[in-house]
Every structure is written in C-alpha cells, then in structure tokens.
Amino acid sequence: MMSAGARNRLVELLCKSTERDKANELIDAWTVVGKAWGSIRFVSGVAAIKAGAEQEVTKASIRLTYRRNVEMGMRVRHGTDIYRVDVVLPDEQRRQHVDLICRLLSAREV
C-alpha cells in the first residue's frame, strides 16, 4: 500500500476537448477533468536530434490513487510542467494505484 506521504504532488488531469472562441470558431482546448495526489519519478532523459534541432525527451512515471478515468493521450499538469500520458498501467489486482508512463512536454509542444 502506498503511504499518503509518498503522494506529495497535486496534479491536474486534462482531456482534449473542443470549444468555441470569440469568433464562434471551434478550437481545440485542454479541460481539467480531475485533480489527484500522486508521486512523480523521472525514469529517463535523452537528448536527440529531430528535424535538425536538438530535443530533450524526459520520461516520468506518475503514480496516482487507483482510478479508471485516465486514458492514453490525456495530459497531466503539475505546476508549470505538462506531461503527455503514453501508457496507463492500472493495478487491477489490488486496485490501489495506477501508474502513468508520461513524457514531459516542451514549451513548444504545449
């Protein structure tokens, strides 16, 4: 069982949605669908060259209390950091937690 002290980061779960702007045009937006306490561990960081420019890729594992409403492609926001959820690994046996394998997005990707 994960102690409450280990879940020391309040994060927001974001889902892609469509909204209308002031000109009544449909635009993509990210809507907060929930908040949760969790722990964030950085598992790797790699620098790669993509399209002629150096780009850093930082992977993180975010563990939340068990929940069923997290899907691949959603985002997690902690402070100014935004992560894209690549993989969702629920603890189906004991239903105590869900692990999210995420990638930290750069300012350009947000």
- Is residue 109 a part of any domain in this protein? no
Cβ-contact 100, 12 below 8 angstroms: no
Mean pLDDT computed over 30-45: 92
- Is residue 110 a part of any domain in this protein? no
pLDDT at 108: 85
In the predicted structure, residue 6 carries a pLDDT above the cut 70: yes
pLDDT in tens, 86-108: 999 999 999 999 999 999 998 88
pLDDT at 48: 61
pLDDT at 54: 64
- Is residue 73 a part of any domain in this protein? yes
- Is residue 16 a part of any domain in this protein? yes
- Is residue 77 a part of any domain in this protein? yes
Residue with tokens 């492609």: 73
CATH number at residue 48: 2.40.10.270
Residue span of the structural domain in which 52 resides = 4-104
- Is residue 88 a part of any domain in this protein? yes
Percent of the chain past pLDDT 70, that is, above it, reads: 87
**How many structural domains is the chain composed of?**
1
